Amino acid sequence: MTATKVGIIGASGYTGLELIKILINHPFFEITYVATSSGGLKLDAMHPSLKDVFTCRVEKADSNEIIKRCDLVFLALPHQASMGFAKDLLNQGVKVVDLSADYRLDLETYEKHYCEHSDKEHLAQAVYGLPELYREEIKKSSLVANPGCYPTASILALVPFTPYINEDFPIFIDAKSGVTGAGKKSNDLSHYVNINENIFAYKVLSHRHEPEIKEKLLKFSSKNFDVNFVPHLIPATRGELIDAYMLITEDINPLEILKEFYKDELFVRIFDGPVDIKSCAGTNFCDIYAQVKGKKLYVNSAVDNILRGSSSQAVANANLMCGYDEHTALPTIAYVP
């Protein structure tokens, strides 16, 4: 079998590195193009852990080159930068998995929370890359919008309960993320001294992942939930925990519902007690627990924010788009201890 030639645009960040770490050992994908917006270094100079493992030239991203050398590209770029590249690539028949927000939302929602959209045509065709919900659509798509990390963990935890959640009451999501979620760029926020021995909320009720969760729950369930989202940074490198609080309309057994809903899914694990980030960090798993008290429902999920919340899910999508087994090369063994 001929390998599928893949490119990674945005190789300097955390999600770019995670893509490379997975793709190095992928049996059907061959890395043929690695780029950043500025180019320059060799890959193992940029990521010293790759020394003597894998290296190549890091190019200055150039659509013409990508088209010549890639069947599929992963765009690990900031929003707005992504749509600039995606448009050309798609028009030339290159498949795209976009890790930014550019193709995740309906036009109106996108433009309200991000900026003007310059590729409305492809936006209309993009598939939201959550395999458990849109597996068949992803298989047929040439443009997959990889979900945000918080929406991945939140939506997977909530969708099984949408028939039972009381729409008249808000859903409150209290999320906690490791610092890789804030990106690799150095700033006061990510300074060691600011994060260590600390915890704090940020973008309270105004994070852009809030409308993403709301929109996807609406599309899936046709129920327009009032989603309220408060994220926190915690002193950890990777991993993300979701605690969601809501009311339900009838008595349910939440663990049975979860187990039934995900009974055929290899990358969702249902736990009988609260989940932690350590047991899933390093893997593509989304771990979920839920508990009911009267008419109150507590849902608790965990993912690795830069794997299931980004890069390993992106590879799952690429696998589907290229006709490979969805699970090919995806990490299942956690970094624990």
Does residue 149 carry a catalytic annotation? yes
Distances (CA, A) of 292 to 165, 233, 250, 257, 286: 12, 27, 11, 12, 20
Residue 204 binds to a second copy (criterion: CB under 8 A): yes
Residue 299 binds to a second copy (criterion: CB under 8 A): no
Distances (CA, A) of 127 to 14, 133, 147, 225, 235: 24, 11, 10, 22, 34
Cα separation, 168 vs 159, in Å, equals 17
Determine which residue in the list 76, 96, 258, 280 makes contact with a second copy, applying CB under 8 A: 280
Helix (H, G, I), strand (E, B) or coil at 267: coil
Binding range to a second copy, per CB under 8 A, among 63-71, 113-121, 132-140, 271-279: 271-279
Name the β-bridge partners of 98: 75, 145
Determine which residue in the list 281, 303, 307, 314 makes contact with a second copy, applying CB under 8 A: 281
Distance of closest approach, residue 159 Cβ to a second copy, in angstroms: 19
Q: Of the two residues 90 and 99, which places its CB atom closer to a second copy in the complex?
A: 99
Active-site residue, selected from the candidate residues 70, 115, 149, 286: 149
Determine which residue in the list 27, 107, 205, 260 makes contact with a second copy, applying CB under 8 A: 205
Pick out residues in 112-171 that bind a second copy (CB under 8 A): 169-170
Determine which residue in the list 80, 109, 279, 328 makes contact with a second copy, applying CB under 8 A: 279
Question: Do 243 and 300 touch, CB atoms closer than 8 A?
Answer: yes
Pick out residues in 28-67 that bind a second copy (CB under 8 A): 47-49, 51-53
Helix (H, G, I), strand (E, B) or coil at 175: strand
Cα separation, 4 vs 72, in Å, equals 8
Determine which residue in the list 192, 250, 263, 264 makes contact with a second copy, applying CB under 8 A: 192
Cα separation, 238 vs 241, in Å, equals 10
Q: Of the two residues 14 and 134, which places its CB atom closer to a second copy in the complex?
A: 14
Locus of tokens 């990510």: 190
Q: Which residues are catalytic?
A: 149
